Structure formats: C-alpha cells, structure tokens
Amino acid sequence: MYKTQGLKNSRIEVADALRGIAVIGIILYHSVEHFNLGTPETSLSLACDGTVFNILTVLLSGKMYGIFALLFGLSFFIMRDNQAQKGKDFSLRFAWRMLLLLGFGIINLVFYDGDILTFYALWGLLMIPAGYLCTPLLWVVTILLLIQPVEIYSLLSGWRPDISAMGKYYMEIGRTGADGTFFEHAAASLQYGFKASWLWFVMKGRVTQTIGLFFLGILFGRHRLFYNEGNHLKIWRVVCIVAAVAVAAGSIFGHWNNGNVFFGKVDSLIHPLYNLAMLLLIVSGVVLLWYAFEGFRKGLSHICFFGRMSLTNYLMSSLLGSFIFYGWGLGMHYVFGTTFSFLAGIAIVVLQIIILRQWAKKHQRGPLETIWRKLTWLGSK
C-alpha cells in the first residue's frame, strides 16, 4: 500500500500552464468541429480549410483531452497526499467531489452533447482504489491500460464492440442542434449525448487510455516529476526523445495506412498510441522549455490563471460555442468553414481570457472552481 512521503506539494505553475494550453486546444478544436455539428456546406469556405483542419487534428485531437486527463490524476494525487499528511483519508471526500463534477457535467450536457466531465466523474472514482496501490503495481496497471488492451484483444480474437447505435444518436443530436430550439437540443443532448460519446470513446480507444492517463498523473505526482528536483529534467529529456521517435514512427504509419488493408485493421490500436506519444511530446517539451528559458516561462505565465479556472472555462466555452454555431443561436455552422471556425474559436478564447482576467484580480479561483471547492469541503473544519 502506498503511504505519503510527507513532502510539501507546492503550487505547480507549469501544470497550470499545461492545463491552460489543454483547455485552449479543446476550445479551438471544438470550434473547428462546430461543437459536434460537423462541417456541412458553408458559405464562408476557403481553399486552405482542409490543410487547417488536418494540422489542428494532428496537434489537438485526442492530445488536449489526454493532457487534461493526466493533470486530473495529478490533482487527485496532490489533494489525497495533502490529506494523508494530516492523517486523513480523502476517499469519501473525493467520491463526493466526483458526484459534484457529475452535476457540472450534466449542466454542460444541456449546451454541448460531447461533454467529458460526466465521464471524468465516473472514471475518476477508479483513482480511489488506485491511490492505495504501491507504486510498482500502479505502474504495471497504468502501462497495461495505456497499451490499449481492448484493441489488442479485438485484433487477436476478431471481436468488435457494437457501436451501431452511435449513428442514430448523433443524427438526432445533430438535427436538433442544427435546426431545433434550445430546449429541443437540450432534451436530445441529455437523452443521447452521454450514450453517443460513450460509443465514440469505445470506437476511438479512449476508455482505457483516459483511465491510464489518470493513473499516470498520480504516478507523476508521486515521483514529483513536475518539480525541478534531482534528475527530473533528464527524465523529461528521455521522455521527449522517446515520444518524438514514436510520433515520427506513427507519422510513417499514417502514410502507409492510406489505402492499405493490413494497416487499416490495426489503426484502432496504433492511433491512440500515436495520440499518447504526441501528448507526452507536448508535455515534456513544455516542461523542459519552462525550466530552461525565463522568457518562455514568462510568456506562458499569462495563461496560468486560465488553467486554474479550467472548469469555468470548459463550461463557458460550451455556452458560447453552442450559441455561435447551433441553430438556436447564431447558426454559424452553416456559414463558417474550418478556417473561420478556427478564428471564432480564437475569439471565444480571447473573450474568456478578458472576462476571467478581471475575475482573477480579486479571486484566487474561478467562479465554478470556488463553488466546487466549497461544496467539496462542506461539513469539514
């Protein structure tokens, strides 16, 4: 069983910066996807739309959520370890915290059917037993989850999960999102959004990978890798090099995969691993640059507050994005092609930064983070 090392868990600013990068990336890619409405024929399309979409897919799709999941696990470790140092068990309090997050996720589903908070709240409960495992055993479990065990079994056995209902769910959600009223889409999103997203996660190999990233965040916290201590930067250099090689190999595979039957069969296994390598490349690169260059550190410090308010940012972006693109709002999914949608995403990010920067002048946490924290510790001294 793991026991606290009794070391102080000070604020990790580079983790806040990474969280800010992840939230911004999520907002931008959601905008390009018209917040799950897809890309129909639009009146403001540009010749570069395809190139812009491909670049953003490589850099953002699956990577930003992965970074978010990794830091979610890190946050759990810090809270649990802080309580353990006071001689307290954080398990029940964290379960209550996940129930609160589930509530935030359901609220988010009203606006955006692709909500991730509901899954984080449910899968996050698995971190409670994981937190008790000794470090070597937790490493074994984490690696097993990250190598896509379901996809490996599927390839070896020929078994395939049944995702046939996914199309029907997304069709109903898309219909109400494109042309329905706010209440029609909210009802469809609440009814079908969670089920559609679950099947999409299964299809994309995101289930075990997300849980594995939660656990990896716990391990990074135990090893204190985000602090500039000991030989940690050497470890990050190794991670960066290995991840870069894996990304290069994945890019070659992607080139061969074009029209190749054999590689097409293993894409369900390789693609999540490629996303994993890419997100580790991004994380390790940011950490190394953060501690190596003061200018880089100062530049990213401007989005640290944005990362500390990630819950508020995530829900606010769903509200703003659905208003811009959905039929009950401005209906811009019929107007904006990929490039203009990307610019709309930048506008959403800038607007949120302006609003929340003013909030940050007087408050340490975002409005929803403040509510979440107070409710989490309800009844405690």
Asked if residue 236 lies in contact with residue 14, where contact means CB atoms within 8 angstroms, the answer is no
Asked if residue 76 lies in contact with residue 127, where contact means CB atoms within 8 angstroms, the answer is yes
Say how far apart CA 152 and CA 133 lie, in whole Å.
25
pLDDT tens-digit profile of 297-310? Answer: 999 988 899 999 99
pLDDT tens-digit profile of 102-121? Answer: 999 999 999 999 999 999 99
Asked if residue 309 lies in contact with residue 365, where contact means CB atoms within 8 angstroms, the answer is yes
Say how far apart CA 267 and CA 285 lie, in whole Å.
26
Q: What is the pLDDT of residue 321?
A: 96
Quick one: DSSP state of residue 263?
H
Say how far apart CA 193 and CA 189 lie, in whole Å.
5
pLDDT tens-digit profile of 125-148? Answer: 999 999 999 999 999 999 999 999
Phi, psi dihedral angles at 280 (to 5 degrees): -70, -35
Phi, psi dihedral angles at 44 (to 5 degrees): -115, 75
pLDDT tens-digit profile of 284-299? Answer: 999 999 999 999 999 9
pTM above 0.75, yes or no: yes
Residue 4 pLDDT exceeds 60 = yes
Furthest-apart CA pair in the chain: how many Å? Answer: 62
Say how far apart CA 365 and CA 235 lie, in whole Å.
32
Q: What is the pLDDT of residue 261?
A: 45
pLDDT tens-digit profile of 15-74? Answer: 999 999 999 999 999 999 999 987 667 778 888 999 999 999 999 998 999 999 999 999
Can you state the angle between helices 338-360 and 49-60, rounded to 10 degrees?
50
CA neighbours closer than 13 Å in the CB half-sphere of residue 117: 25
Residue 224 pLDDT exceeds 80 = yes
Q: What is the pLDDT of residue 354?
A: 94
Quote the distance between the C-alpha of residue 118 and its chain's center: 12
Q: What is the pLDDT of residue 204?
A: 87
- Between the CA of residue 15 and those of 22, 99, 231, 289, 369, what are the distances in Å? 10, 24, 18, 13, 16
Confidence of residue 256 (pLDDT cuts 50, 70, 90): low
Which two structure tokens, joined as six digits, stand for 132? 């008790």
Q: What is the pLDDT of residue 40?
A: 67
Q: What is the pLDDT of residue 254?
A: 66
